[in-house]
Structure 1
Amino acid sequence: MDYEGYVARKLSIGLLLLLLTLLVSLYSLSHGSYYLSIREVLGALVGRGSESASLIVWKVRLPRIVAGLLVGAALAVAGAVMQGFLRNPLATPFTMGVSHGAMFGASFAIILGAGYAESTGRISLGNPYAVVLFAFIGSMVAVGVILLLARLKGLSPEAIILAGVAMSSFFVALTTLVQYFADELQLAAMVYWSFGDLGRATWRENAIMFIVFTPVFVYFVVKRWDLNASAVGEEVAKSVGVDVERVRLISTFLAALITAVSVAFVGVIGFIGLIAPHAIRLVAGGDYRFLIPLSALAGALLLVTADAVARLIMAPMMLPVGVVTSFLGAPTFIYLLIRMEGRR
C-alpha cells in the first residue's frame, strides 16, 4: 500500500506538470502582439477558425511553443542524466562545453559569410542551415574530445567535469578570436545568434528535434535502473552488473547529442538542465524511474513559461528567452554551491 501511494504521488506530480504545461501553452497561444480569445485559438487548432487566427496559431505561435516543449524537455533530461552518472549536482550539458562549442561553430560559419546584419538594423542569417550545421559540429567536437580523453585515460567523473570546464574556456577563447576579426555586421549577427530564440524553429526543425530526442529519451528510460545504481556509487553499480564506464560514456554522448541539436537550432539557452532536475528532486525525490520523465515535463513547462514571459513582459518588444532562464538559473546555481559547501 505504501508503494502504491509512492507511485500515485509521482503520477499526480506528473499530471499536475502536464496540466500546467497545457495551460501555459494555451495562454501563450492566445497572448501576444495580436490577442486571440481561447475560442479563436481552439477553433484555429481544429481547423475552424478564421484565416488570420489560423495563420497566427499554426505559422507563428504553435511552432515556437512546440520548440519550447522539445528543447526544454531535452535540456532537462540531459541535465538529470549527467548529474546522475557524473555524481555532481552542478553537472549539466553546458558543463561539458556544448553551448560554447556551438557558439564557436556558429561564429565561425558567420565569419565565413553565412550570417550578417543589414544596415537597416535587421539581423539575419544568410544561410541559417550552414550556421546550424557548424554549431552542431562545434558542440559535438567539444564533447567528443572529452569523451575520447575519458575513454583513453579513464577519467573519473570529477575529471570529466573539469575537462568540460577546460573545453568551455578553450571555445570561449576561440569565439573571442573569431569575433575580433569580424566586422561590425558579422559581430552583430554572432551576438544575435547567441541569444536563445525559440522563434527560429519551424515545423521542420521541430520534426528533427523530435526524431533525435525520442529514441534518446527511450534509451534513458530503459537505463533508469543503471542510473539509480550509478547515483549511489560505482562499486554498488558494478556489484549489480552495470558496466559503469561504458554506460556513462554512451549516456553522456547521447545527452550531449540532444543538447547539441537543440542549441544548434535555437541558440544558447542556459540553466534549464540545472533548474528542472533539481526542482523535481525537491518534490519527487531522486528515483530515476520517475526523475527522467518528470524532469522532461518540468523542463518543457519551465522553458515555455520563460518564453511567454520573454515575449510579454516588455511587449511589443521581445526579450531573448535565454536572458529569462539565466535570471532564474544564476540564483539556483549559487544556492546549490552553498548547499554543497554546507555538507562538507
Structure 2
Amino acid sequence: MGRERTMPAAYGRLLRRRWLTLAVLALLVGALVLVSLTTGSSALTAGDLLEALLGRGTDQTRAILFRVRLPRTAAAAVVGAALALSGCVMQCVLRNPLASASTLGVSQGAAFGAAAAIIGLDAGVQNAANAASAVTISSPAAVTVCAFLGGMATTVFVLALSRLRGAAPSSMILAGVALSSLFTGGTTLLQYFADDVQVATVVYWTFGDLGRPGWSEIGLIAACTAAALLFFLRNRWNYNALSGGGDTARSLGVNVGVLTCASMALCTLIAAVSVAFVGVVSFVGLVAPHMLRRFTGADHRFLIPASALGGAALLLLGDLAARELLSPAVLPIGAITSFLGAPMFLYLLFRRRDRLC
C-alpha cells in the first residue's frame, strides 16, 4: 500500500517538474526577445520599445524596431523552433540520437535545391547592387519548392537506408555525411557555371542571415511550423510508443510506416523552408532536443514543445552573439551555430560510440 501511494506522488512531482521546465523556457524566450529588441548599435530601453509599440516615440526608434529588430527577432525564434522540432522528431522516428536536418544532409540538400533555383531558374537577385548588400529572392516560391525537393531527396535516401536489414544508426549518420559532401559539391559546381551576381547571391545566402526574411517569409515559416507542431503534438503518444521500438509501437496499434513517412516529410518541409529564406543554420536541431531531454525525459508530450522553445532560445542567443561579438559588424549566424554545435555533436558521438558501432 505504501509503495502504491508513493508511485502516484512521484509521478506527480515528475509532471510538475516538466511543466516547470516549459514555463521556465517560455520565460527565457520572452527575456531573450526583450534583450534582442533592446540590443544593437543603437541601444533602446524597454521604455523606448513600449513607446514605439504604442505608436509614439521618434521616427528613428520606430524604424529600428519595426523594420530591423522585430523581424530579425521573430525570424530567429521561428526558425530556431522549426529546426529544433525537426531534429526532435527525426531522432524519434529514426531512433537515432544524432539525427537532425544538418547531420543527415537535409539542410545541405535543401541548400543545393535553393542554389539550383537561384542560378538555374534565375530566382535570385534582380540587380548587382542588391547582391552586394543583401539577398532579395525574386521568386520565393521557386526557391522554397526547390529547397524542399532537395531536402526530400535526402530524406527518401535516408528512409530507404533505415529500412535495409542490418542498417545501424551509425550507417545513417555516415550516409548523411556522404550526402552532405555530395550536395555541397553540387552547389559548388553550380556556382562554377554561374555569373558573378549569382555566385555572390548564393555565397551570401549560404552564410545564414536572420535579417534577410521579411514578414511574408516569416509568416510562411511560422505557418508551416505551426502545422507541423500540431501534427507532432497530435501524435505525441505514438512517438512515445515508437521510442520503445517499432515492434512495440505496432503492438499498440501504431502504423509505423505511415507515421515515419509523414513525420519525415513535415520535418523536411519546415527545415527546407527555413533554409530557403535564412540559409544553412547548423546543429540547432541536434543540440536543443538533447539539452531538453535531460529535463523532460523521452516523454514527447513535453519534449516536443520544450524542443521548440529551446530551439527558439538557442537561435536568439546565437543571434545576440552574432550581433555583439564584433559590433557593429554582424557575423553570419550559420558560423555561430556551427561553433556552438560542433563540440556538442562530438560529445554525443563519443559518449554514444559503443551503441553506434
TM-score by length of 2: 0.88
| Aligned residues: CA RMSD | 2.5
Distance 2:154 2:280 in 1: 20
Structure 1 residue identity aligned to 2:283? F
Contact 2:86–2:268 (Cα < 8 Å) also in 1: yes
Q: Aligned pair in 2 of structure 1 residues 148, 217: CA closer, same or farther (>3 Å)?
A: same
Distance 2:129 2:62 in 1: 33
Contact 1:133–1:264 (Cα < 8 Å) also in 2: no
Verify: 1:171 aligned to 2:183, yes or no.
Answer: yes
Written as runs of structure 1 = structure 2, the 5 A alignment for 1:175-324 is 175-324=187-336
Distance 2:207 2:254 in 1: 40
Structure 1 residue identity aligned to 2:148? S
Contact 1:74–1:296 (Cα < 8 Å) also in 2: yes
Distance 1:142 1:102 in 2: 4
Cα deviation 1:276-334 (Å, max 9, x = unaligned): 00000123212111000000000000001110110111111000111111111000000
Cα deviation 1:91-116 (Å, max 9, x = unaligned): 00223432212222332233344348
Task: Select which of 117, 132, 141 maps to 1:122.
Answer: 132
Secondary structure of the corresponding residue to residue 35 of structure 1? coil
Mean Cα displacement is larger for which, 162-171 or 247-256? 162-171
Contact 1:196–1:268 (Cα < 8 Å) also in 2: yes
Q: Aligned pair in 2 of structure 1 residues 309, 250: CA closer, same or farther (>3 Å)?
A: same
Question: Cα distance, 1:25 vs. partner?
Answer: 1.1
TM-score by length of 1: 0.91
Contact 2:85–2:267 (Cα < 8 Å) also in 1: yes
Contact 1:117–1:188 (Cα < 8 Å) also in 2: no
* Counterpart in the other structure of 2:3: none
Question: Cα distance, 1:163 vs. partner?
Answer: 5.0
Verify: 1:15 aligned to 2:23, yes or no.
Answer: yes
Q: Aligned pair in 2 of structure 1 residues 242, 178: CA closer, same or farther (>3 Å)?
A: same
Mean Cα displacement is larger for which, 88-97 or 106-115? 106-115
* Counterpart in the other structure of 2:348: 336
Contact 1:106–1:131 (Cα < 8 Å) also in 2: no
Distance 2:154 2:333 in 1: 30
Task: Select which of 61, 74, 92 maps to 2:69.
Answer: 61
Distance 1:169 1:148 in 2: 14
Question: Cα distance, 1:36 vs. partner?
Answer: 0.9
Task: Point out where structure 1 has 5 or more consecutive residues left out of the alignment.
Answer: none
Structure 1 residue identity aligned to 2:137? P
Identity, in percent, stands at 43
Mean Cα displacement is larger for which, 253-262 or 165-174? 165-174
Contact 1:146–1:160 (Cα < 8 Å) also in 2: no
Structure 1 residue identity aligned to 2:179? M
Question: Cα distance, 1:87 vs. partner?
Answer: 0.7
Question: Cα distance, 1:185 vs. partner?
Answer: 4.0
Contact 1:123–1:189 (Cα < 8 Å) also in 2: no
Question: Cα distance, 1:264 vs. partner?
Answer: 0.7
Structure 2 residue identity aligned to 1:86? L
Cα deviation 1:196-225 (Å, max 9, x = unaligned): 111012111111112111121011011111
* Counterpart in the other structure of 2:4: none
Contact 2:191–2:199 (Cα < 8 Å) also in 1: yes
* Counterpart in the other structure of 1:73: 81
Question: Cα distance, 1:42 vs. partner?
Answer: 1.9
Distance 1:149 1:311 in 2: 36
Count of residue pairs the alignment pairs up: 343
Distance 2:161 2:340 in 1: 37
Cα deviation 1:124-170 (Å, max 9, x = unaligned): 44x50436633541332442464378479944684665554443333
Distance 1:168 1:80 in 2: 20
* Counterpart in the other structure of 2:5: none
Q: Aligned pair in 2 of structure 1 residues 55, 137: CA closer, same or farther (>3 Å)?
A: same
Contact 2:98–2:173 (Cα < 8 Å) also in 1: no
Verify: 1:102 aligned to 2:101, yes or no.
Answer: no
